[in-house]
Amino acid sequence: MATIDDVAKRAGVSKSSVSRYLNGNFTYLSDAMRAKIAKAIRELNYRPNSIAQSLKKKETKVIGLVVGDMNPFWMEALRAVQFECSRHGYGLMISSSNWDVGKEIENIRMLKSRQVDGMIIASMATSVDGVGVYEELIAEQFPFVFADCMTDEEKADRVVTNTVAGAMEAVEYLIALGHRKIATLLFPVVSTVRQERLLGYKQALRKHGIEVDESLIRVCKESRGSGVDATIGLLSMPDRPTAIFSTNIHLTLDVLRGIRQSGLEVPRDISVVGYDDTDWAPLLDPPLTTVSIPAYEMGSKAASLLFKKIRQTKQTKPKKIEVSPKLMVRLSAITNPRAE
């Protein structure tokens, strides 16, 4: 197996020059010298000892990703994170908290103990204040980036989407179709994202002079089928809603099942608009109108921002990068037949 000494001898340069080349430090290396070293590495099929390099640099060349669960959104974002990791020569460790704050903190501490070089965190916390693990990361200047959370937090780098605007656009679309009695389904409000989707729903109604009816807001347990029961309950009301805004792709599937079990059809009897787009949303019958968040873009920007933080040598002001949601209009919502 070729060594760094063999590369230096073949290239006709010093061992320290080869070492600088391998570490990406080209300050004292001419283009001709770099070309000689690269040629020698190819000819000798030299493979540097990545573990030794990492120990020398105090790096592991691994980052962590902490999410609430691996839903379709994060599966798509993960593709982008993995691509950026591959591009930068990094490995990736993934942990899911199953929407448990205690587990989230435990996962962060675990990844830190494994000495990852940085983290992308989709947190359920609404602020770093009072959350010891985040205050510690900031105090230690540990590289991390929030993704899809902490939209108003100025103490840490984050890549976010304007969730309130996305929810408002969905509900205003239904209002424009003549719907006034619009229900919404959501999981327990334990994260910033969930809070903002509910806020967007309420703001859209109030903006158009529609009173918020708490009986039309159904908070569902995070268990299979809970959205089905909630939907059947809504449709059993004497003056049932004419439209439903579902704030989560899993809940949307429950909503559609609940409507079918109630003997009704979408959109003839009730309109449905969801949040979170998937590859199969256009394939449903009818194709689902839903708010799309550019998951791949968010994952890519979060990873790119993290790698910049890992490389930077001095502390900089936290950055906020925003990606825009978009309403994908399809066929699951129509003009309210009961509109005056």
Q: Tell me: the pLDDT tens digits for 36-83?
A: 888 888 788 887 665 455 545 568 899 999 998 888 889 999 999 999
In this predicted model, which residue has the larger pLDDT, 231 or 103? 231
Q: What angle do CA 227, 163, 208 make, to 5 degrees?
A: 85
Domain 163-293: CATH architecture, name and number where available: 3-Layer(aba) Sandwich (3.40)
Kindly list the domain boundaries of the chain, sorted by start residue: 4-48, 60-161+295-324, 163-293
Q: CATH number of 4-48: 1.10.260.40, 3.40.50.800, 1.10.1370.30, 3.90.1570.30?
A: 1.10.260.40
Statement: residue 282 has pLDDT above 60: yes
pLDDT on residue 204: 98
Contact by Cβ (8 Å): 233, 202: no
In this structure, how many other beta carbons lie within 10 angstroms of the beta carbon of residue 249?
Answer: 19
| Mean pLDDT, rounded, for 223-251 | 94
| Residue, of 131 and 197, whose pLDDT is higher | 197
Does the pLDDT of residue 269 top 60, yes or no? yes
Highest mean pLDDT among 19-28, 68-77, 93-102, 209-218: 209-218
pTM for this structure?
0.75
pLDDT at 294 over 70: yes
Distance CA 120, CA 299 (A): 9
Residue type, 12: G
The mean pLDDT value for 228-255 works out to 96
Task: Give the model's pLDDT for residue 151.
Answer: 57
What average pLDDT does this structure show over 192-210? 95
pLDDT of residue 168: 98
For residue 189, give the amino acid letter: V
Share of the chain above pLDDT 70, in %: 91
Q: What is the mean pLDDT of residues 304-310?
A: 95
Among 253, 206, 152, smallest CA distance to 198 is for 206
- Tell me how far apart the alpha carbons of residues 182 and 89 are, in angstroms, rounded to a whole number: 49
DSSP characters over 22-34: HTT--TT--HHHH
**11-25, 45-59, 250-264 — which is least confidently predicted?**
45-59
Q: What is the DSSP letter of 319?
A: P
Identify the pLDDT of residue 223. Answer: 82
Q: Which CATH class is domain 60-161+295-324?
A: alpha beta
Please state the rounded mean pLDDT for residues 74-102: 91
Q: What is the pLDDT of residue 69?
A: 85
60-161+295-324 shares its CATH topology with 163-293: yes
Predicted confidence band of residue 25 (pLDDT cuts 50, 70, 90): low
- Phi, psi (5° rounding) for residue 272? -135, 130
- What are the tokens at 13? 């340069």
**Is the model's pLDDT at 198 over the cut of 90?**
yes
Which residue in this structure is represented by tokens 């609940």?
258
Of the pLDDT bands very low, low, confident and very high (cuts 50, 70, 90), residue 288 is very high
Q: Is 162 helix (H, G, I), strand (E, B) or coil?
A: coil
Residue with tokens 């501490």: 109
